[in-house]
Amino acid sequence: MNVLNSFATVIMAAGKGTRMKDPTKAKVMYEVLGKPLLYYVVETAKQLGSAKIVVIVGYQRESVIQFLSNSFPKVEIAIQAEQLGTGHAIMQAEDPLKYFKGDIIILSGDVPLLSIRSVQLLLGNHKQQSADATILTAEFTDPSGYGRIIRNENGYVKRIIEHKDASEEERKVKEINSGIYVFKKEKLFKALKYIKPQNAQNEYYLTDVFEYFWKQKWKVSALKVSKVKEIMGVNTIDQLKEVELAMISK
């Protein structure tokens, strides 16, 4: 089967965007060049040829649903009524994907610069390595504050370690997790059943599924994006402006 017609895309678009300073607006509805951030991510999923596109909505969801039904009527919507973390968000996609068989790409609704080419390469790597999960990573000159990707001698990912928990040696690693993934569907939803909210925020983190993957000896691969700017998320108004400048200069 062609790599580009055997996958579904799940887009996380439920976040509040606290640092954007406008409680009346969902973060993904902030505009860049006259279109919401979410527009660019759904358009990428559509152009890739996703068999299904599921968007997880939550905060100020009425406006997001309205936008999607007008601009992308074929997209399916899953509701995360309470924002209990990225793992909890993806759990909401299980029902819409009940009858789907194939790989799941996970994108973030606030990462509009990601190119179709990079996702194609990610999918290709996932297939080529016969991986159970594949992480899109990036190499930062200064990776402070980011989760580090620790690979084994064969180049597969054996650990993702948060900056605060990393040893001095691990902090020297410049490869970071972008939060963009491909998973084998059945294994993803199986692993999600085992994650627990063991953190100060009492949230379910998607990255916690990897512990289960490694316990099962499932293969986790990683591919570095060539242009770091592509994985930039928007959390502040300044970052929104930065994304807009990057789009103008494309």
Q: Which amino acid is at 239?
A: Q
Asked whether the beta carbons of 48 and 82 are under 8 A apart, the reply is no
CA separation for the pair 177, 166 (Å, rounded): 14
| C-alpha to C-alpha distances, 10 to 50, 51, 100, 171, nearest whole angstrom | 10, 11, 12, 31
Tokens of 206: 């998607």
- Tell me, yes or no, if 19 is annotated catalytic: yes
Torsion angle defined by CA atoms of residues 151, 152, 154 and 160, in that order, rounded to the nearest 10 degrees: -30
Tokens of 223: 């591919």
Tokens of 86: 């990225």
CA separation for the pair 101, 115 (Å, rounded): 25
Catalytic residue among 19, 117, 151, 171: 19
CA separation for the pair 177, 108 (Å, rounded): 13
Nearest to 67 by CA among 94, 93, 31: 31
CA separation for the pair 124, 135 (Å, rounded): 12
First CA to last CA across the chain, in angstroms?
Answer: 33
DSSP three-state, residue 180: strand
The residues carrying an active-site annotation are 19
